[in-house]
């Protein structure tokens, strides 16, 4: 019997005029051959029908526990500021028609069909709910492990210094399975940069985990928060283990400040996660990459009390990032695609991401001429493979995948 994670995919393209055949054995790419080769051994042969093959997408910043994806439409209920969104979400939590597990599972199913093979999600750790959301997402991580690689950030949505008991909850969250510890706007939100960083760096050092902190603040406050993050990263020896999510201040500062921050970020290997939000300063993608700063992309909030937008598709996120960045050439659009794929895989520590021999067979097929064309059109994913298994076809999970996820 042919193992369902071993096959030969032929008549497939990696660009407009580069047709290849790809052999997969036990979920790993073992051969990439030029031309429309067809396997002659015992392997099953799959016709790619001249489609374009791309490595799995990676969502580097999500909030799956907040989502209302698949639920009845909810008109945006909050005001324009962070505080209003946080308080509105707290007020509505107990009124949502479905539990966290069901809402998050619906979104996870959706992202699989769009070609996402791995993601990092921030999960609310909050005094009224304790670790309830964490436990729900930990259970889903195990349930979906054959379909998605999931990293969890313990996220103190309501702050730390102003929320007595939060430090202990965050510590417990990491002890119980969160992969990283998070934070949020130490000065403007928590009003105590030192205390905030004392907690999250202390947890990171005690448990040997990384940090992924939300830094929304622009202007001098945001710069001071980022400077503090850089200083603490150096002092803790956590170079390469810290992410500044959003880092809007990098997109709104003067040139001299940008160059100073970029040099320090590159030196400490602090990465930036961006969602390309329409109303926020966008970190300058190409300038950061040129200066050695790692930047990757995520959807952030998807159809919840924070935003009515989002469908989980990282090709769409790549398009939005390219559009906001003024990218028009194929080369630049491929940079935006890398933010949604290879760059995220590197920051999440995913070994074997790509289409080379030895890489995991995590990829998808679309009807597009080139990678840039795929970013522009965001076509339906014709076939999605995870570790060599066909898990979705034409925008829907396969029957086998649905059966396994019930």
By C-alpha distance, which of 340, 394, 396 is closest to 372?
Answer: 340
Q: How confident is the model at residue 137 (pLDDT cuts 50, 70, 90)?
A: very high
Given a cut of 70, whether residue 247 has pLDDT beyond it is yes
Question: pLDDT exceeding 90 applies to what percent of the chain?
Answer: 90
What average pLDDT does this structure show over 291-307?
A: 97
Average pLDDT over residues 344-366: 97
Whose CA is closest to 303, among 67, 65, 24, 54? 67
Q: What are the Cα distances from residue 341, in Å, to 84, 320, 347?
A: 33, 15, 10
Rounded CA-CA distance 159/169 in Å is: 12
Q: Which CATH class for the 57-347 domain?
A: alpha beta
What pLDDT digit, counting tens, does each position of 140-156 carry?
999 999 999 999 999 99
Domain 7-56+354-394 CATH assignment equals 1.10.3720.10: no
**What's the CA gap between 174 and 206, in Å, rounded?**
10
**Positions of CATH 2.30.40.10 in the chain:** 7-56+354-394
Global pTM?
A: 0.96
As a whole number, mean pLDDT of residues 359-376 equals 98
Q: How confident is the model at residue 209 (pLDDT cuts 50, 70, 90)?
A: very high
User: Which tokens is 263 given?
Assistant: 């040099």
User: What pLDDT is attached to residue 140?
Assistant: 98
Listed in order, the ranges of the chain carrying CATH 3.20.20.140 are 57-347
Cα distance between residue 137 and residue 129, in whole Å: 14
- Is the Cβ–Cβ distance between 48 and 10 less than 8 Å? yes
Render 300-312 in DSSP notation, one character per residue: BS-SSSS-S---S
């Amino acid at each position: 019997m042919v193992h369902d994670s071993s096959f030969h995919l032929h008549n497939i393209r990696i660009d407009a005029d580069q047709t290849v055949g790809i052999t997969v054995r036990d979920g790993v790419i073992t051969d990439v051959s030029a031309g429309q080769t067809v396997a002659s051994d015992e392997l099953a042969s799959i016709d790619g029908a001249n489609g374009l093959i791309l490595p799995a997408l990676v969502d580097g910043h999500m909030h799956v526990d907040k989502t209302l994806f698949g639920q009845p439409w909810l008109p945006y209920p909050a005001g324009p500021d962070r505080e209003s969104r946080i308080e509105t979400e707290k007020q509505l939590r107990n009124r949502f028609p479905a539990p966290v597990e069901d809402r998050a599972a619906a979104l996870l199913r959706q992202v699989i069909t769009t070609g996402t093979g791995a993601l990092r999600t921030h999960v609310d750790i909050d005094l009224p709910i304790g670790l309830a959301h964490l436990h729900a997402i930990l259970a889903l991580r195990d349930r979906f492990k054959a379909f998605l690689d999931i990293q969890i950030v313990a996220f103190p949505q309501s702050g730390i210094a102003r929320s007595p008991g939060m430090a202990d909850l965050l510590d417990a969250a990491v002890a119980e399975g969160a992969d990283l510890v998070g934070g949020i706007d130490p000065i403007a939100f928590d009003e105590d940069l030192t205390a905030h960083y004392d907690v999250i760096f202390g947890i990171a050092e005690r448990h040997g985990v990384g940090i992924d902190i939300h830094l929304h603040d622009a202007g001098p406050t945001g710069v001071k928060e980022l400077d503090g993050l850089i200083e603490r990263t150096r002092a803790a020896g956590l170079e390469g283990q810290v992410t500044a999510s959003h880092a809007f201040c990098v997109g709104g500062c003067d040139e001299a400040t940008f160059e100073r921050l970029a040099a320090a970020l590159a030196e400490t290997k602090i990465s930036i996660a961006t969602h390309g939000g329409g109303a926020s300063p966008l970190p300058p993608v190409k300038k950061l990459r040129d200066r050695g700063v790692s930047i990757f992309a995520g959807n952030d909030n998807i159809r919840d009390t924070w935003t009515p937008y989002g469908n989980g598709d990282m090709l769409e996120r790549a398009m939005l990032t390219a559009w906001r960045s003024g990218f028009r050439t194929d080369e630049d659009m491929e940079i935006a695609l890398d933010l949604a794929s290879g760059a995220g895989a590197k920051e999440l520590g995913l070994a074997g991401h790509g289409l080379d021999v030895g890489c995991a067979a995590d990829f998808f097929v679309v009807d597009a001429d080139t990678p840039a064309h795929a970013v522009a059109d965001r076509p339906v994913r014709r076939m999605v493979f995870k570790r060599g298994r066909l898990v979705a076809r034409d925008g829907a999970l396969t029957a086998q995948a649905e059966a396994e996820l019930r």
